[in-house]
């Protein structure tokens, strides 16, 4: 296989099943550094599963995932350390509703990183400021809009200073008027040089922000390349059919 020497994440012959259902088939993919790789494809094609394997929320039963020079799928991987390096933002935010914004953002810094409260809060303030939520520190998630909750989730991930960020349909649960702001924030993060893998149904975002686009169908990577090429010159009938439906 031809490999990218600067790959931040490398999936090698990855296979994943849920019981008898084989969901990922022989995935081979290099995710370049400092680039946004968008994964698109029909519902149930395995996009989220691939993302969730990347930080071991799911364990593949065959194949390897390399994060830089380290094999994430090795038996002795320290999962906390892996998730410090590989942050993840979910569709449904996954905030702790009984904690305020500041405590949501600082929790992992204090419990996983063992950082003192003052230092953790200073770091959290920087990130809350960066996502436009300065002044919201003492609010509870229930008192925020969905877009603001998603910004808290992004700030929480960024506070851990990850090398790679995973976004799993981060705007799918938002009211339409709140989608734009979160996509803009993700776009800024991409421009800043963060390595990102983004599962999305937002085709405009994928075209404008992605450096690389990956089309999955039925658990396989069917096509990949620069967004303009994938959108404008789809080779496979499956991608052509998908684009006809979503564009």
Ligand X SMILES: Nc1ncnc2c1ncn2[C@@H]1O[C@H](COP(=O)(O)OP(=O)(O)OP(=O)(O)O)[C@@H](O)[C@H]1O
* Residue with Cβ nearer ligand X (53 or 153): 53
Stretch that binds ligand X, among 44-52, 122-130, 142-150, 231-239 (CB under 6 A): 44-52
Told to check if 44 binds ligand X by CB under 6 A, we report yes
Spatial strand order of the sheet with 164-168 comes to 86-89, 164-168, 195-199, 36-40, 212-217, 220-225
Q: Can residue 87 be called a binding residue for ligand X (CB under 6 A)?
A: no
Task: Give the residue with the Cβ less far from ligand X, 23 or 170.
Answer: 23
Query: How distant, in Å, are the alpha carbons of 83, 90, 228, 229, 231 from that of 78?
Result: 9, 22, 38, 39, 39
Among 2, 18, 176, 237, binds ligand X (CB under 6 A): 18
φ/ψ (deg, to 5) at 196: -130, 140
Alpha helices by DSSP H, listed for the chain, are 47-54, 79-85, 101-111, 117-130, 146-159, 176-191, 203-209, 227-232, 237-246
Among positions 8, 12, 14, 23, the unique one binding ligand X when judged by CB under 6 A: 23
Nearer to ligand X, 20 or 118 (CB): 20
Q: Is 75 left (phi over 0), alpha (psi -120 to 50) or beta?
A: alpha
Burial class for 202, CB neighbours closer than 10 Å (0-12, 13-18, 19+): buried
Residues 45-64 that bind ligand X (CB under 6 A): 45-49
Q: Give 60 or 158: the residue with its C-beta nearer to ligand X.
A: 60
Q: Using the rule CB under 6 A, give the single segment among 15-23, 105-113, 129-137, 206-214 that binds ligand X.
A: 15-23
Residue 37 in the binding site for ligand X (CB under 6 A)? no
Are 200 and 221 in contact by the 8 Å Cβ rule? The answer is no
We find the least distance from the C-beta atom of residue 46 to ligand X, in angstroms, to be: 4
- Closer to ligand X by Cβ: residue 144 or 179: 179
Q: Is residue 192 within the footprint of ligand X (CB under 6 A)?
A: no
Which residues of the shown chain bind ligand X in the complex (CB under 6 A)? 18, 21, 23, 41, 43-49
């Amino acid at each position: 296989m031809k490999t990218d020497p600067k790959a931040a994440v490398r999936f090698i012959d990855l296979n994943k099943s849920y019981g008898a259902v084989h969901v990922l088939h022989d995935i081979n993919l290099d995710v370049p550094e400092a680039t946004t790789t968008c994964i698109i494809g029909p519902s149930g094609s395995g996009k989220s599963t691939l993302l969730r394997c990347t930080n071991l929320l799911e364990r593949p039963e065959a194949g390897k995932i390399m994060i830089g020079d380290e094999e994430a799928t090795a038996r002795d991987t320290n999962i906390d350390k892996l998730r410090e390096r590989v942050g993840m933002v979910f569709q449904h935010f996954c905030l702790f509703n009984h904690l305020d914004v500041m405590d949501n953002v600082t929790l992992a810094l204090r419990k996983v990183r063992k950082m003192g409260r003052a230092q953790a809060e200073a770091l959290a303030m920087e990130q809350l400021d960066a996502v436009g939520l300065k002044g919201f520190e003492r609010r509870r998630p229930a008192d925020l809009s969905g877009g603001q909750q998603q910004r808290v989730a992004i700030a929480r991930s960024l506070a851990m200073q990850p090398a790679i960020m995973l976004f799993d349909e981060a705007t799918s649960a938002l009211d339409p008027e709140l989608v734009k702001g979160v996509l803009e924030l993700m776009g800024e993060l991409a421009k800043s040089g963060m390595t990102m893998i983004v599962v999305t149904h937002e085709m405009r975002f994928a075209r404008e922000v992605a450096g690389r686009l990956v089309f999955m169908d039925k658990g396989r990577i069917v096509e990949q390349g620069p967004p303009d090429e994938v959108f404008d010159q789809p080779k496979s009938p499956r991608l052509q059919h998908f684009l006809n439906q979503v564009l």
